[in-house]
Amino acid sequence: MTGSLFQRFKGIVGGKQNRVPDLTTRFKAFQAMLDGNNRTLEAMTEMGEKLGGDYLFDINYIQSAYARLLAAISDSLSNFTRLTDNHYPQLVAILARIDGQVQRMLASDGSVSNRLVVIYPEITWDLAAEVGGKNYHLAELANTLHLRVPEAFAITTAAFTAFLRHNGLEERLNGLGQADSTTLAQLRGAILAGGFPDDFTAALSTTLETMRSRLGRNGTLAVRSSAEEEDGEFSFAGQFETVLNVPCTLEAVQAAYKEVVASLFQAGATSYQRQLGYDLGKLKMAVGCVAMVEAKASGVIYTAAAGKDRSKMAISAAWGLGKGVVDGLTDADLYTVTKGDKLQLVERHIGGKAQMVVNCGAIGIETRETPAELRDLACLSEAEVLELARQALTIEEHFKTPQDIEWAMDKAGRYYLLQARALRMDDPAEEEAFRNQEPAPTDYPVLLRNQGVVVQRGAAAGKVFILHHLNELEKIPQGSVLVASHDSPHFVQAIPFLHAIITDVGVPTSHMASICREFNLPTVVNTGQATALLTHGQEITLQAGEGSEFVVYAGIVQSLLQKERQTGAKLRELYEFRRQKYIMRHIAPLNLINPLEQEFSPEKCRTVHDLIRFMHEKAVQALVAYAEVQGRGLARFFGGKTALHRLTLPIPVQLLLIDLGGGLQETASKKEVDFTQVGSVPLRAVLAGMLFPGVWQKEGVALQGRDLLSGMIRAADITNGGDGLAGYNVALASREYMNMSLRFGYHFNMLDSYCSDKPRNNHIYFRFVGGAAAITNRSRRIALMAQVLAEHGFALKAKGDLLIGRLSGLNRQEIEGILEQMGRLIGYTRQLDARLDSDEMVSILARRFLAGDYHLEP
Amino acid sequence: MAKHSIMVIDDEKIVGDMAKLSFEQDGYEVETFLNGESALARLVEKPFDVVITDLKMKGVDGLEVLRTVKKLYPGIKVIMITAFANLDVAIEALRDDVHDFFPKPVKIKELKASVKRALGEE
């Protein structure tokens, strides 16, 4: 499959690029890419729905649904490659890699990589299954979050399989089914007596040599399990053996490895596996070998205190090794930190710490009496607590769920993270309420019902947070129900804090919708009236079913919440179900959120969803860039099929229009056309705004300057085909697309928009640069524009006198409305600098503008 | 009243597992089988109230299950689910008095409604 995928792209990437495609060709590629993206998102949505627990599905379904998805994303990618002249060749390899992962899962073969041993810095996301959850998470802390983790390496599931095969144990694992304790004991014995295949021994020896050189002769390792799903959805906490203080020698590590592997079949562990729906013998175990930290103190952090309060985190600490805390041996210190705006240490309990676990080198570890002078002494200072809390918060934000983190501090006072796994949350208060026979939902008033589209089913409750601006996302309190006029992929940053999302407008195939499904966040879109009917701070319960079946109750309906938890938990415990759903991990999650960040690079694309997002963003940018380049060279237009026209406007602006098809109404074949002939939906909207009475400040315009004249072009320039278009006003337009560059003196506006009946395709990209006035006035103008754009929901970036705004996913009418406002803003702000002599004026004028008052007088 | 019993036959474990979980939640008693042979052997011992079977399976397939059930217990309703929707097969199944015929993926809610109809509860 991977090979064939490469074949598909060979033709595009290969040497058939003699001719530079003209803009029309590129534009067609752009549209075809949008179409591919849509089909991909639709396939993704369908798979998400069918694999969500409401359907009985089988492998045939997954295979055919995935094939459709792959075909769609491949189409998308080939058009994107065409559009950008193969500017991002990495994407093909990334898609091939994702495809490889999915195909492997579909073939039910978890490990095909032949890497037996991998050091942590080399653990990449696609090795997650091979190195197991525990190794993967810990490596991620170091590799992605740049937090301190001890030197370590992973022995993969491929090594596990090789070990079993070498010792003829594979057969014995098949049909282990209901094996009794004698059979299991024999199996453990066989593992402990087992030998190692040569390649395994060789790989391990090489890595151990590296470890010895880094840790010194006395360095030792903790050898512990990292089963496939461990520290993922299920904790397996304490189920398997951990061997501490293992010297970095081949013999010692191999012996410890066998002990850990054998523990897969010890009594407690086997019943746990059965409970989770594993067929005994199916679970593959990777092993982690992590350098022991000479711990002065260590402990555990729960980023949600007591496993339920997400506003606080709890940090425990004791002297010596963490085993004392984890096993509950000693009365540890307990620090409570509130998360809020600023991390704050609010409570400190200094434990008695009568005993401590110490590392005694070759003899192993030992529990000793804590020296008297240390017992009542706090293990951590306030600054140290806050530093640990800060790191913990970073980890929680990264994994998007509360974490259970083990840490240690060495003699030099450096922190090391030893483990991070999802914290299983519980809420005894709610269960208690349920037992006390909470009233049925019928006793609660209904606020909203069945008017909208359910994106993710489920029941959830919380306080309503009505979002007006994207910048309020950071302020959303834990456990809120986000209510917004539109959906937005930016919501993902708030998802850890949300219990549900309800929007007035939205589609079930948006980026946001896929994210909500991925996170199982109950979500309803397109209710038309949620922001009007629900009030900020109000407590509500959402019960979302299928299609358009949902109810919003006033108040917290405990009975619904309880039922929801029971069903969800049982379903997640079905191993096969989880396994199939894991395929979606390579498809649906969105890691690339903000196109303005450094992270927005091809290398960061991990999933199909990332690819779509990346391609869309870069395709828009590419189109803009090509439009700009071609706008500067007239000759090309006459070589291609595009037609250049001069637009007559009732305002003193001259604008050239390049018709990409449907940009003008059919009759417009003349060089000079009246603005009323414009057929492009987005361009008409912008022009309507620019021509709005009062927006064009005639009285204040300094006509003697280059301000307006720079926009003028004589007919001779066009007919001569001279390439002097730089600095002139140019609009490229098709029926649904426009890209317009407008220059007024030193102000430069670039507006790019797609405005169609498919909200997901629609976008507005706006860029503003320049201004001849003093820098403070220029910044003020940027501030004013930013205020207005923010009001319309743009994601903004401003730097100096550069402002970039992006907006997407709105329906046609909304885009038109905003473009009209943009037209007004462009006209209005042409010569604003001079008026902006104070910061107060920025807000005053922004408010006036939003209220439709375009006077500039103070 | 005794619980109604459902037999689920599908060569993919996930189908049986999910069906079992879903129907048990509604108070049914569910037994799952990965092939037609073991299911038919069990049927001889115990008449279930409803049989849900996959069509395409190695060995004894869904149509054979249907015919055998009808021979043994004409009153038991059989619901067939299949990933390979095929009109000829559907007609053949109908001739053999199949109660319902669903393409996979099948919405669990619809399957539950069908079981209720089969039991005359709706």
Mean pLDDT of the region A315-326: 80
**What is the C-alpha separation between A74 and A82, in angstroms, rounded?**
12
Q: Does A56 touch chain B (CB under 8 A)?
A: yes
Q: Which CATH architecture has domain A439-556?
A: 3-Layer(bba) Sandwich (3.50)
CA A54 to CA A40: how far, in whole Å?
Answer: 22
> In this predicted model, which residue has the larger pLDDT, A129 or A447?
A447
Instruction: Supply the pLDDT for residue A56.
Output: 87
Can you give the pLDDT at residue A574? Answer: 63
Q: What is the pLDDT of residue A518?
A: 65
Nearest residue of chain A to residue B10 (CA atoms): A58
A567 vs B25: CB contact, 8 Å cut-off?
A: yes
The per-residue pLDDT for A703 is 32
**Chain A residues inside the 8 Å CB shell of B15:** 56-58
- Quickly list DSSP for A110-135: S------EEEGGG--GGGHHHHHHHH
Domains of chain A by residue range: 2-109, 117-291, 295-422, 439-556, 633-850
Which residues have C-beta within 8 Å of that of residue A704, sequence separation ≥ 6?
Answer: none
Confidence of residue A312 (pLDDT cuts 50, 70, 90): confident
- Any CB–CB contact under 8 A between A569 and chain B? no
User: What residues make up the domain containing B44?
Assistant: 5-118
A568 touches chain B (CB under 8 A): no
Contact across the interface for A56 and B81, Cβ inside 8 Å: yes
Kindly determine whether residue B108 and residue A54, on different chains, have CB atoms separated by under 8 Å.
yes
CB contact under 8 A, B18 and A574: yes
Q: Is residue B43 within 8 angstroms of chain A, CB to CB? A: no
B104/A contact by beta carbon, under 8 A: yes
Per-residue pLDDT reduced to its tens digit, A363-414: 667 888 888 888 888 899 999 999 999 999 888 877 767 888 999 999 888 9
Write the CA distances from A160 to A88, A104, A226, A262, A496, integer angstroms: 37, 17, 11, 11, 35
Q: Does B95 touch chain A (CB under 8 A)?
A: no
User: What pLDDT, on the 0 to 100 scale, is given for residue B30?
Assistant: 94
Which residue of B21, B83, B107 is in closest CB contact with A571?
B21
Rounded to a whole number, what is the distance in Å from the CA of B81 to chain A's nearest CA? 9
| Residue range A697-710, pLDDT digits in tens | 554 433 333 333 33
pLDDT of residue A204: 94
H-helix or E-strand spanning residue A734: strand A730-734
What is the rounded distance in angstroms from the CA atom of residue A226 to the CA atom of residue B106? 36
Cα torsion B110, B112, B117, B119 to 10°: value is: 160
Q: For residue B108, give the chain A residue with the closest CA.
A: A55
Pick the CATH number of A117-291 from 3.40.1380.20, 3.10.20.600, 3.30.1490.20, 3.40.50.150: 3.30.1490.20
Lowest pLDDT segment from A23-27, A227-231, A409-413, A620-624: A227-231
Give the CB-side neighbour count of residue A441, counting CA atoms within 13 A.
18
| Phi (first) and psi of residue A380, to 5 degrees | -130, 140
Q: Do A546 and B109 touch (CB under 8 A)?
A: yes
Q: What are phi and psi of A598, to 5 degrees?
A: -55, -35
Q: What's the CA gap between A645 and A787, in Å, rounded?
A: 35
In this prediction, residue A633 carries a pLDDT of 53
Characterise A505 by phi-psi region: left (phi > 0), alpha (psi -120 to 50), beta (else): beta
Count CB-CB contacts under 10 A for residue A757.
11
Flag if B104 and A53 touch (Cβ within 8 Å): no
State phi, psi for A55 to the nearest 5 degrees: -125, 150
* Number of folded domains that form chain B: 1
Residues A205, A198: contact at Cβ < 8 Å?
no
Domain CATH code at residue B16: 3.40.50.2300
Tell me, what's the pLDDT at A510? Answer: 73
Does B55 contact A at CB distance below 8 Å? no
- Helices A157-166 and A198-215: crossing angle, nearest 10°? 130
Do the beta carbons of residue B54 and residue B10 sit within 8 Å? yes
Q: Which residues of B touch A567 (CB under 8 A)?
A: 25
A85 part of contact set with chain B, CB < 8 Å:
no
Residue among A638, A624, A646 nearest A740 (CA): A624
CB A852: neighbour CB atoms within 10 A? 11
Q: Which residues contact A336 (CB under 8 A, 6 or more apart)?
A: A305, A312, A313, A314, A315, A345, A346, A347, A348
Residues of B in contact with A576 (CB under 8 A): 12-14, 17
Q: Distance (Å) from the C-alpha of residue A578 to the closest C-alpha of chain B? A: 10
The per-residue DSSP string of A630-653 comes to: HHH-HHHHHHSS-EEEEEE-SSS-
Tell me what the mean pLDDT of segment A27-54 comes to: 84
Looking at A334-338, A370-374, B109-113, which range is the least confident one?
Answer: A370-374
Complex ipTM value: 0.88
Tokens of A40: 């991909």
User: Was domain A295-422 assigned CATH 3.30.470.20?
Assistant: yes
